[in-house]
Structure formats: C-alpha cells, structure tokens
Amino acid sequence: MASTMTSRTSSRSRREGGSGWLRLRDLDLLLLGAVVLLGLIGCLLVWSATIHRDDLTGGDPKAFLAKQVVNLGIGLGLLFAVAATDHRWVRILAPVAYVFAIAGLVLVLVMGSTINGSRSWLMLGGLSLQPSELAKLAVVVGMALVVAERSEGRWRDRVGAVDVLLMLTVAAVPATLILAQPDLGTMLVLSATVFGVIAASGAHRRWLVFLAGSGVLVAVFAVVSGFLEAYQVDRFLAFTDPGRDPKGAGYNVEQARIAVGNGGLFGQGLFDGSQTNSGFVPEQHTDFVFTVAGEELGLIGAGLLIVLLGIVIWRALAIAARTDDVFGRIAAAGIACWFGFQAFQNIGMCVGIMPVTGVPLPFVSYGGSSMFAGMLAIGLLQNIHLRTLTAPASRMQPAKRVLVRG
C-alpha cells in the first residue's frame, strides 16, 4: 500500500509541471499525432512543389525537402522541451519571450530584408527568421499572463475594463510594429487571435462588439486613407473580381483555383500535378502549399489535411476547457484561435474565398519560423495538458481556485 502511494506521488510530481522526465503516454497523443502527420505530409508537399524548380533548388531536387525535415525535427525538439518544462518556469519565461519578440520586430524594421513587398525578414548568415511568426505566440502568452496575474488569489465574476485595456496594450505594441512592415496577413491573424483571447478571458460582450466595430472602421480607414500599399489593394480587388487582372494581381488566385480543381476526388498523384510540375502557382511551397495537396492528392488528401488541422484545434479547445488554471485556459484558447483563423485564411485564399495575404499553413508550409512558432505553441498546450493531470490535487484546495466567467 505504501509503495503504491509512493509510486502515485512520484508520478504526480513528475507531471506537476513537466519537471523530471517526460513520459510519452502522459501527453495528448491525438494532438501530437495530428501535428506529426501534418509535418510529414508537409515535407512531401514541399518536396513535390520544388522538385522540378531548378530556379529554387539550384539543381538539387531534395534541397527543400532536406531543409523542411530539419525544420520539423527542430520543431519537435522545441515541442518536447516546452512540454517538459516546469509550468512555473513557463510563466516566468513568458515576459522574456514577449520582450524577445518585440526586439525581433524592431530589428526587422532597422535591418530587415524586404520580400514580396513586406519588410518581415531578418537574414542571419544563411538563415532567415520572421519574428512576426514568433510574435503571435508571444502575444497569446502575454495576454494570458496579464489576466492570470490579476485574477489569481481572488474570485472574479468577470474581467474588468482595466484587464481588457492591459491585454490590448500587450497586443498593441507588436501589432504596431507588424503594421509598419507592413505585413497585412500576419496582422489579420493576430487580430483574430486577440479577439479570441479576450472572448476566452470572460470579458463583457460589449468589449467584443467594440473590438469588432473598431476593426471594421480601421479597415475602411486603411483603404480610404491610402495606408495600404498599392499591391495590397490590388490583391483585395482581385479577390472580389479575379478576372479583372488575370495576369497581374489575380494571377495567383486564378492559378491556385485551377490547381485545386485539377485534382478531382483522388488527385493526379503525388509528384504528378500538371500545374505544380509546370511551376504555374507562385510561392507554392510556402503560402500556396495547399494547392499541391488539392491537385496531387485530390479532395481526399486535401480533406485529410483539413481534418488533421481540425483535430489540432479541437484538442486545443479541449485542453482549455479542462484546465482550472487561468493562464493555461486563456493561452490554450488563444492558440486554438490562432491556428483556426490562420488555417482558414490560408486554405481560403487557395480556393478563392479569402483574399491573398501571404500566411503559411500551420505545420505544412515550408519555413522554419512558422514551424518553430507552431511547435512551441503545441509544446505549451502539452504542458497545460500535463498540468491538468494533477487537477484532483488542486480541487483539494478550492479556496485557491480562480473563477472567470463569460
């Protein structure tokens, strides 16, 4: 009996916040499996999109495949590292991550490289880094930490105006720097994420109505005042009428829709897509990687990607719903909003129901910054999940629990 109690106590102590060693069976295996499958399928799609592109690969057909496999491996390492970190250190390091993200965004404006009209990249030797991708996670954990620090230790029926204003302040700094690049796609994803975090925090509905209304007014002002670059306005006009400039702003949308339509139910076969092999779809290994799945794997393969992304979002929401920790609940809900809107935006622009804004498909598109940020977020979800395994112990002390209602 004593040995059994000791074993359970030891097991609980290992799970308390990720301290000790990490046991695979304690993780949310459905979430982990979906992310790994997305990453592996992404490697194949990136390979197919670049295998015939000597202008990109320099004659090495496996160049991008090798890089993406390395990105996936590093990303998984980051995932397990965050999952295994003591939850107390996760909260301590959250402000540090936020400061580093802000520093990266400032450096981009000072010494960044401009690609596709956006000054979003830092070139470090032979490596490229996009700080705005990491800023998404930094904003989520920063906003979650604000509510958690102000809520813990006392019962609260609803977050107040001060809480919401502090969260908006946390989001406003990186948002302003991202707008200055300008990176409209990331800004849209960040805006949707901030809205989701505030909704999950339990803020009054009037705040959500205010934010939605403010977003519409800002969008109208940006168009009317000429704040947007000409190519960004052309993209929106091409979205409303792709036929108005089929060889210019509407080219990406038109070619993407052709590629997806070519796939039919079962696709033309991996590495055999006619549009993909001909290189007709621009940026197909990054922003338009979903068109490779649509053309070569058909509705079945593209649908599998959507299902796997749906599983990731579902598990994030499930983790948010189960945890009693305010920080964990809001962070998990924010990550779900981030992945959900970004996936919708990316797939939507590939099939013509969203304007082209240049955001990657989580865990699938080529690129290290997006992969690392996404894997860090999944690691945080796993960390929150592991923390939830000790919920029976926390319920023994109800006076220390925190209630934040919507």
- pLDDT tens sequence across 233-251: 666 766 666 666 666 667 7
| Domain contains 224 | yes
What is the pLDDT at residue 66? 94
For residue 363, report the phi and psi dihedrals to the nearest 5 degrees: 70, -5
Instruction: Give domain status of residue 123, yes or no.
Output: yes
Residue 188 domain-assigned (yes or no): yes
Q: What is the pLDDT of residues 69-125, one digit of tens each?
A: 999 999 999 999 999 988 778 888 888 889 999 998 998 888 877 776 677 777 776
Q: Residue type at 263?
A: G
Q: Return the closest-CA partner of residue 189 out of 83, 299, 335.
A: 335
Beta bridge partners of 127: 124
How high is the pLDDT of residue 232? Answer: 65
CA distances from 296 to 123, 236, 329, 353 (A): 33, 28, 39, 21
Q: Is 397 part of any domain?
A: no
Tell me, what DSSP letter sits at residue 282?
T
Q: Is residue 8 part of a domain?
A: no
Please give the pLDDT value at position 372. Answer: 95
- Measured in residues, the chain has a length of 406
Assigned domain for 37 exists = yes
Q: Which residue has the tokens 């068109």?
A: 291
Q: From 28, 21, 2, select the one nearest 384 (Cα to Cα).
A: 28
Is 260 inside any structural domain? Answer: yes
* Phi, psi angle pair for 78, to nearest 5°: -65, -40
Q: What's the number of domains the chain is made of?
A: 1
pTM of the shown model: 0.87
Give the 3-state secondary structure of residue 39: helix
Pairing of strands 113-115, 127-129: unpaired
245 residue type, one letter: D
Residue 401: per-residue pLDDT: 40
**Is residue 7 in some structural domain?**
no
Scan for tokens 């700094």, then name that residue: 173
**Domain residues for 353?**
27-390
What is the 3 state secondary structure string of 228-243?
CCHHHHHHHHHHHCHH
Low-confidence ranges of the chain (pLDDT < 70): 1-21, 116-117, 125-126, 152-158, 222-235, 237-249, 390-406
